[in-house]
Structure 1
Amino acid sequence: MADFYIAEIRPFAGMTNRVPAGWHLCDGTLLPISGYETLYSLIGIAFGGDGITNFALPDLRGRLPLGSGRGAELVGNYAYASHGGTETVTLTSVQTPAHTHAFQVSTAAATSNAPANNRFADPAPNSFYATTKTQGSQDQVLGADTVSTAGAGQAHPNCMPTLAINYMIALVGIYPQRP
């Protein structure tokens, strides 16, 4: 590999058992401070550990790295080593935009309650559904006991299209100098 900085993180398309020497998977492993003092001096216990005998590597399994700080036109200010997001989301009625459904009906009395041919009831001789809205007729709201919101309050996955690869961190390398 080319020159790299200690604590540098890179995506790695190789299998987990093929991580190059001097690198480690970003899998949250606890490392002893003794033996990794240089790496510890850069990341400390930002990702875990007791800071006395050990420290943790970042755990990027199933996670997407995000630059810390606040970018132009962004809402969040992301602190270094902070976590965010959620794997599932349960939508509420407040998050569902208001909308309507056309439901035109005949005023003729129903003569059948067999729900065939997209009809709830079948008036004779007219179809339950009117083919066109009558000129000048007003839209009506159905009673709350007639319709309700749908859904069971179940969470759904909250994930953009992804490709799973490994991330690795340099355990050795060039020590980054301060500007």
Structure 2
Amino acid sequence: MTEPFLGQISLFSFNFAPKGWAQCNGQLLPINQNQALFSLLGTIYGGNGTTNFALPDLRSRVPLHFNGNHPLGQRTGEEAHTLNVNEIPNHSHNAIGSSASADSPLSSGTLLGTTTAVNIYSDPSNLVAMSSSQIGSTGGSQPHNNIQPTLVLNFCIALVGIFPSPN
């Protein structure tokens, strides 16, 4: 392998960082021992900028080329997402009933509404509340997986190498 650029990120198929490289897992490095790399990265990925700086953290992340909407070092997206009411498409749940006679006796407490006959065209003061077991929210408010198909590899950054010059 030819000598990498200092700060170059490469993928490896094995589970360790080769000599002169570090895994991109967001660890803090001391500035006084890595001044050239600090001059390239600064505190874009974290650190206090006086005694330490952070390497990029690519664990559970997909790299994205920076642009005006996504500056260098920005973390965006989420692995799991819980939908809220505004994200659910408009839809309906139809109530289904039958006028056929039941072939088994009704158990206690299983009626939708009340056993009292109600004239549906009567004064609204005679309204009957629907059973709370028949209406209400649905879903468990649990996040769903939001990850695209992936192949896990080892991102590493060069701690030593040729200092890159701008084009």
TM normalised by structure 2 equals 0.73
Distance 2:84 2:51 in 1: 46
| Partner in structure 1 of residue 159 of structure 2 | 171
Among 141, 159, 175, the residue aligned to 2:147: 159
Q: Is structure 2 residue 87 aligned with structure 1 residue 89?
A: no
State the 1:39 CA deviation. Answer: 0.7
Distance 1:158 1:108 in 2: 45
Distance 1:110 1:170, change over 3 A: same
| Partner in structure 2 of residue 112 of structure 1 | 104
Kindly report which structure 2 residues correspond to 1:29-68, keeping only aligned pairs within 5 A, or say none.
Answer: 29-68=27-66
Distance 1:5 1:144 in 2: 69
Q: Which amino acid aligns with 2:166?
A: R
State the 1:150 CA deviation. Answer: 2.1
Q: Which amino acid aligns with 2:89?
A: P
| Partner in structure 1 of residue 15 of structure 2 | 15
Distance 1:167 1:144, change over 3 A: farther
State the 1:79 CA deviation. Answer: 1.2
Q: Is structure 2 residue 5 aligned with structure 1 residue 5?
A: yes
Deviations 1:18-48 (CA, angstroms, capped at 9, x unpaired): x222211112222121231111110011112
Name which of structure 1's ranges 95-104 and 25-34 shifts more when overlaid on structure 2.
95-104
State the 1:109 CA deviation. Answer: 3.4
Deviations 1:90-149 (CA, angstroms, capped at 9, x unpaired): 1123322233466665423334258xxxxxxxxxxxxxxxxxxxxxxxxxxxx7964444
Which one scores higher on RCO, CA 8 angstroms, separation ≥ 6?
2
Q: 1:93, 1:149 within 8 Å by CA — same for their partners in 2?
A: no
TM normalised by structure 1 equals 0.69
Distance 1:5 1:174 in 2: 5
| Partner in structure 1 of residue 120 of structure 2 | none
Which segments of 5 or more consecutive residues in structure 1 lack a partner in the other structure?
A: 71-76, 115-142
Question: Identity rate of aligned residues, in percent?
Answer: 41
Deviations 1:28-78 (CA, angstroms, capped at 9, x unpaired): 2221212311111100111122212221111112222111114xxxxxx10
Give the SS at the match of 2:86. Answer: helix
Q: 1:11, 1:166 within 8 Å by CA — same for their partners in 2?
A: yes
Q: 1:31, 1:55 within 8 Å by CA — same for their partners in 2?
A: yes
